[in-house]
Structure 1
């Protein structure tokens, strides 16, 4: 701690300086010279405190934290994991009594018995004090005279305010006239990009501008420097800046003249006496700088509201305040009347638009049960037999329709009813299978048509009514079902919404609970724990394939399920698991809807999923929907659930009470389009009005993002010109994967073929690998959507058979391709361990981090 001695010496010298400053302040404030002893008696407490404060401040700032902790440790203090503030406090306490500087002894040596030196110091201190006092008096006098002059100038401005604006208005009018006659108009797409050259666009046309604000946005052809958020950069200059600077110049000169002409003579004399120089125009400008800024802002704002036409008429009229005042008042009156008329017209159009929006949209989305005589609600958890009981009621009816959320489930019910000797047809957007003599129909919910009557209608997964894109299909089916009896199947979260929608209708409520309890395993799941009957859940096709490959390489037989898998392939994969050909199933959350499988345990390999916007933690409802698939009565009487991490949190989500849904989704209907066409005929306007329409309480509008994106591809083309608005929207609304570039291109080519009246282009058949086969399956599905929409059923049969062959190929490729699959770094292709957490190897991550750090320097 040798450093302490150095700091002590420095603190002592600093203390001496501070004490001498105190001596001078004390002596200078006394009219009669006090004795040295009188000084000590009054100031000794303060002098001692100066010494302590200087010393403690020095050692606090100059000694490092490490040295402080070492010193305190030597004194027996515990310093590990101690807050910095506490370390400083303890160290200052220890240092307070470290070799205190003897101020009294030093002062006595300096001044005691040295009267001449004390007298000399008093004279100098007193002279300095009086000099400072005189300077302060003079500054105060200068401040008061400036304040008085500013107040007088403010009075002058207030008296001449109207005249000032009339003059500025006239000068602006002359400048505007000159610019219209002599300046060139320039155009540019991006006003701020200097890379784009300006093009001359002729002269200015006064008819093109209403208010001055419209003209001020035009480019001057010059470049200037501007500042945004403290950063300066160059851009093309607009007349906005030119006119604002001009008005500031006019005001500055005019106010200077007004002030010099109207200030009282005594203020000029007092100013010259105080400052020792006359009051000039330059001095006045400095005094009015703040006032000038405020007036400039106010006048420039008013100028922007002026009509260009009024100013152009004003330019050639000599400036006579009375004449210009009369002209201004007339122009202002005309302008306010025109604004009132415009406001009234705007309000009229707004009210007319509100009535139109209510007529086109509002009337369509008020819940109204139109036909069904009786509603049977089947409410409960996953895997409780809700769908089974509803279908049993439909099988006994003279006619029935089952509405499924997925094509796979529609296909499953179609097969089940026909196996049970209940003839049933199938209808989805991509296929039709008509069974002779059938009075029952299984279809996807989008195929519902309110004019078709059935004895019983079954609507599955009713909680999907909240889905932002598809929810309205459930709303429409529930509220427009044309049947004697409607069975609605949903989760507990949908119960209150269903009861609210059905209102006073005849309702039978059946609530279901699991016979088989769910049990969350206490230990984190590891791959070595995989057993027969497990279903491993992850949330991407890539992860499903990688996991299945890993399991197969470790000796397990595996079935797979993921969203883009063909339903026929999915069915075969499921049957292999049911029949015991495979012992484990790997799936996305697609397993959570409608699939009843002999699953012993659901294993969540991930607790998060990408929802199309961001990665997020699973919701309670998602966890329940998936976990509910565990257990099979008579086989697995306890459904087990396992997680790879964060078990406590995920268990809480599983056990959380269902929160009731409060809103359902709405989307455009044929009725909406029929009403819309009484006003407009283009989809662009329709989408604009859809955005303006305020969704009724308890509803949320479908975003229609995919339909808009497709529309932008064909907007203004022959396709839009030749198709009616309802037909065009129907094609935009076709249910296919609009994120697949190849499918979007196929859709566009098919649309051109339709309007040109030629044969539809056949989908491209690719089969080099699993991805191409799955894309081919989707392409044929899109082709079938067009064929059925165009009533080309005969040709559709061929493509249905071909699609089934493709699904068989997918099934076979899954058996072979998965065996050799491995995890690879997406940057360098290096093989990764199965347990590797990231999609790139450590080497690539290190290289990327170094490159990122380099560019940040």
Structure 2
């Protein structure tokens, strides 16, 4: 095997080299020359071992596995199914003693025991002496280098100001010449234009003048790999001037001051005289630091002062005294600037404390009794809390959604308990009502009730809406406050209510949840199923496929009007539809007779990225499965990743540890002691460090709206509170049409004109939904302006649009039915292709005919 022979030759050469190195070490350790025979006798075992080690390492590493197997098979060894490590071990054992190299014999043949051996010993000793001399010289070089470096540092401390005084004088003359004799240029449309003479009064400091153009071109250093030029400013030539003259000043002074002892020792250690270049190279980091410092000092010099210096004759002592005085003045100026900056910082810190202060700390003890209803979804928490509210003389229910507030409003009135409704977009007043149902943002601190019920308290950690829950929980004026939430909010609520009278009720599901092992297929949908996906388009598309399969379907999605949503729910509750297709809107407070929750998707787009559902989201939605008295068990099914999603369903929730904070009326009131500019408030809010355990609302939407009216008459003519209130109106700020409507309404308000009527288009479902939002925004303005009578008319208009949305849903779903793009034939719900089998077959026949 040629490869094996090549490896053996390499191993022999390496072994010979190691024996030569061993001879050198052996001789270095002895004062007199040992005999050749003594060496051979002492190292006989070494010759054999060094060969074995070298040979095995080489042959193991350099031969491929296939070569090793071929060698072993040639020796009659069977290798079927043997692992690589055992093949290598077996190969090393077999190859170990194959054709060994005799190092002793080779040495006796190549090295003569007489004079040649003694000559080698002498050469080793000579080399040792050279090594010792080199080490000694290196030590001397380090010592003299250290001494010179220390001496240079001492000289710098003593002479730095004198050197700088001379450099400043030279720079003063250059600046005087440039300002007095050169022309000023300005840049217009990428071309320099001469503008006349310089005026020194325009440049307080030299760094200001350095920004002026010289009229020349300068190659950009960052584009060193190709020619790229820019117009040169005085910064570059002044930096070169300063660097050159600083180097000359330092080097000349140093060489003149170096002692004879330093020069002689350097010559002895390095074998060459110490000159300017070697001294500069030795002290390069120190000198570079000095030059950079001096150039910074020059930039801070007053131009008028430099022009005065240029007129003076050169006198080292006078210039040094002048420099010392100027530096003391500069230090005093810098001290004053520093103190002014610190004063402003203290004032800002005091202002921030005054504005935000303890606004977001936990409240003190009150006489309110807090009852926490904590547990899983669909466990009766809200029902129990509402029963307490219904028994009270007066009460308020605070909901996360307008639909839930509307549901409680209808429920109480239906049961003979007069109840008002108040959301951002509507107000319904019932005669004699002492109860109210509202969205949580409509909570008012000054209202007093016997019982307040706050739903979905885990929303307190939502960055944009969470502060509404914090405010309701901590600012309610009531005898009892009932707080409903998931178990993971318990720790946070106890921290907020640490000094209060708190009672906790934990709720467990009476109806167990059962996860189906098989992945769900749409064709297996049955009566009582709620199919969950995460976009309006997917809801309509899925509903279309189900209806094509003969199912009657209700639909729920976020942009659907609450009135329409309610009708869709009632159809499902009354059995007019057998299935419901919904987004995750189904997970919050909607009690429906659902047999099985089906996750058609396991990921959702959260506004920035598509991500897998969280454990809390899975639990919130899945918890809607099962209805006491109707189903013995609540079933949950997933279209994919069943094991992973089941793990999320049963995973223990991490306790919430942060709640959201947002600007309050008190904060705005204190801010207005300092400023009435809302842009300044947004800047302060960004800089405000919210207390530990809290998270600031981003106010992104408010800031984006504000940018559209900043500096306009709208800002000028509205109070800060009113302006922020209009910015904070809860409407879809991602709809361009609604943004335009908002701006038109704002202009109408400040111009004293009538609000423009919302644009209503009803050609298709999408237009109707946008029209519904447009009327909703109009109602927000009307209620904010106290025009309830006019609002009543637009509420009726909105209800008519909602009816239209409900009626249009079936038409919209039909448009999502899949048909063959070739013949228009209706395709089965789960058909995987865009053309039917017949059209596909015809196309294939035509293609075969063309090829033949």
- Fold agreement, TM-score > 0.5: yes
List alignment gaps of at least 5 residues for structure 1: 190-194, 825-830, 838-857
- 1:338 to 1:77, Cα distance in 2 relative to 1, 3 A: farther
- 1:783 to 1:94, Cα distance in 2 relative to 1, 3 A: farther
- 1:291 to 1:472, Cα distance in 2 relative to 1, 3 A: closer
| 1:15 to partner: Cα distance | 4.0
- 1:208 to 1:624, Cα distance in 2 relative to 1, 3 A: farther
Counterparts of 1:13-24 in structure 2, within 5 Å, are 13-16=13-16, 19=19
Match of 1:559 in 2: 554
- Residues 754 and 760 of structure 1 are in contact (CA less than 8 Å); yes or no, is this contact kept in structure 2? yes
Out of 360-369 and 526-535, give the one that drifted further. 360-369
- Residues 768 and 801 of structure 2 are in contact (CA less than 8 Å); yes or no, is this contact kept in structure 1? yes
Match of 2:425 in 1: 430
- Residues 560 and 586 of structure 1 are in contact (CA less than 8 Å); yes or no, is this contact kept in structure 2? yes
Counterparts of 1:17-56 in structure 2, within 5 Å, are 19=19, 35-41=35-41, 43-44=43-44, 47-48=47-48, 50-52=50-52, 54-56=54-56
Out of 257-266 and 394-403, give the one that drifted further. 394-403
Match of 1:109 in 2: 109
- Residues 668 and 721 of structure 2 are in contact (CA less than 8 Å); yes or no, is this contact kept in structure 1? yes
Match of 2:845 in 1: none
| 1:31 to partner: Cα distance | 8.0
The separation in 2 between residues aligned to 1:742 and 1:380, in whole angstroms, is 41
Return the match for 1:487 from 463, 471, 482: 482
The separation in 1 between residues aligned to 2:829 and 2:204, in whole angstroms, is 69
- Residues 365 and 499 of structure 2 are in contact (CA less than 8 Å); yes or no, is this contact kept in structure 1? no
| 1:682 to partner: Cα distance | 0.8
Give the TM-score normalised by the residue count of structure 1: 0.83
The separation in 2 between residues aligned to 1:293 and 1:94, in whole angstroms, is 65
Give CA-to-partner distance per residue, 1:256-310, whole Å, 9 cap, x none.
2123212233554565677776544334333333442343345445556666666
- Residues 364 and 499 of structure 2 are in contact (CA less than 8 Å); yes or no, is this contact kept in structure 1? no
Counterparts of 1:661-700 in structure 2, within 5 Å, are 661-700=656-695
The separation in 1 between residues aligned to 2:150 and 2:393, in whole angstroms, is 96
State whether structure 2 residue 572 is matched by structure 1 residue 572: no
- Residues 451 and 479 of structure 2 are in contact (CA less than 8 Å); yes or no, is this contact kept in structure 1? yes
The separation in 2 between residues aligned to 1:667 and 1:425, in whole angstroms, is 27
State whether structure 2 residue 258 is matched by structure 1 residue 263: yes
- Residues 212 and 307 of structure 1 are in contact (CA less than 8 Å); yes or no, is this contact kept in structure 2? yes
- Residues 73 and 79 of structure 1 are in contact (CA less than 8 Å); yes or no, is this contact kept in structure 2? no
State whether structure 2 residue 62 is matched by structure 1 residue 62: yes
Match of 1:539 in 2: 534
The separation in 2 between residues aligned to 1:110 and 1:408, in whole angstroms, is 102
Give CA-to-partner distance per residue, 1:746-799, whole Å, 9 cap, x none.
322332333333343343334454333322322222222223223344443443
- Residues 371 and 480 of structure 1 are in contact (CA less than 8 Å); yes or no, is this contact kept in structure 2? no
- Residues 445 and 475 of structure 2 are in contact (CA less than 8 Å); yes or no, is this contact kept in structure 1? yes
Return the match for 1:339 from 318, 334, 341: 334
Give CA-to-partner distance per residue, 1:381-420, whole Å, 9 cap, x none.
3222232233334344444432221111122122222322
Local SS of the residue matching 1:754: helix
The separation in 2 between residues aligned to 1:558 and 1:823, in whole angstroms, is 17
- Residues 661 and 695 of structure 2 are in contact (CA less than 8 Å); yes or no, is this contact kept in structure 1? yes
| 1:658 to partner: Cα distance | 4.7
Local SS of the residue matching 1:457: strand
| 1:739 to partner: Cα distance | 2.1
- Residues 366 and 500 of structure 2 are in contact (CA less than 8 Å); yes or no, is this contact kept in structure 1? no
State whether structure 2 residue 621 is matched by structure 1 residue 622: no
The separation in 2 between residues aligned to 1:507 and 1:118, in whole angstroms, is 99
The separation in 2 between residues aligned to 1:481 and 1:752, in whole angstroms, is 36
Give the TM-score normalised by the residue count of structure 2: 0.83
The separation in 2 between residues aligned to 1:123 and 1:218, in whole angstroms, is 72
Give CA-to-partner distance per residue, 1:513-561, whole Å, 9 cap, x none.
3332333334444444432212222333333333333333333332222
Match of 2:730 in 1: 735
- Residues 540 and 812 of structure 2 are in contact (CA less than 8 Å); yes or no, is this contact kept in structure 1? no
Match of 2:823 in 1: none
- Residues 470 and 665 of structure 1 are in contact (CA less than 8 Å); yes or no, is this contact kept in structure 2? yes
State whether structure 2 residue 350 is matched by structure 1 residue 355: yes
- Residues 69 and 79 of structure 1 are in contact (CA less than 8 Å); yes or no, is this contact kept in structure 2? no
State whether structure 2 residue 516 is matched by structure 1 residue 516: no
| 1:598 to partner: Cα distance | 0.4
- 1:276 to 1:648, Cα distance in 2 relative to 1, 3 A: closer
- 1:755 to 1:640, Cα distance in 2 relative to 1, 3 A: same
List alignment gaps of at least 5 residues for structure 2: 820-825, 833-852
The separation in 1 between residues aligned to 2:226 and 2:153, in whole angstroms, is 34
Match of 2:165 in 1: 166
Return the match for 1:384 from 363, 379, 388: 379
- 1:290 to 1:651, Cα distance in 2 relative to 1, 3 A: same
Match of 2:243 in 1: 248
Out of 166-175 and 231-240, give the one that drifted further. 231-240
Give CA-to-partner distance per residue, 1:477-508, whole Å, 9 cap, x none.
23333445443333333344444444555655
Out of 656-665 and 562-571, give the one that drifted further. 656-665
- Residues 616 and 653 of structure 2 are in contact (CA less than 8 Å); yes or no, is this contact kept in structure 1? yes
| 1:615 to partner: Cα distance | 3.8
- 1:309 to 1:492, Cα distance in 2 relative to 1, 3 A: farther
Match of 1:784 in 2: 779
The separation in 1 between residues aligned to 2:273 and 2:454, in whole angstroms, is 94
Counterparts of 1:184-333 in structure 2, within 5 Å, are 222-226=217-221, 243-265=238-260, 267-268=262-263, 278-300=273-295, 314-333=309-328
Match of 2:740 in 1: 745
Give CA-to-partner distance per residue, 1:71-129, whole Å, 9 cap, x none.
6798567888868xx9877766665444322222222222357x576577677777777
The separation in 2 between residues aligned to 1:640 and 1:669, in whole angstroms, is 44
The separation in 2 between residues aligned to 1:677 and 1:630, in whole angstroms, is 51
- 1:438 to 1:233, Cα distance in 2 relative to 1, 3 A: farther
- 1:134 to 1:429, Cα distance in 2 relative to 1, 3 A: closer
The separation in 1 between residues aligned to 2:490 and 2:377, in whole angstroms, is 14
| 1:472 to partner: Cα distance | 1.9
State whether structure 2 residue 586 is matched by structure 1 residue 609: no
- 1:267 to 1:326, Cα distance in 2 relative to 1, 3 A: closer
Local SS of the residue matching 2:743: helix
Give CA-to-partner distance per residue, 1:338-386, whole Å, 9 cap, x none.
3333333333333333333233222533444799755444333322223
The separation in 2 between residues aligned to 1:182 and 1:89, in whole angstroms, is 87
Local SS of the residue matching 1:365: coil
The separation in 1 between residues aligned to 2:831 and 2:261, in whole angstroms, is 89
Aligned residues: 822
Match of 1:643 in 2: 638
- 1:246 to 1:376, Cα distance in 2 relative to 1, 3 A: same
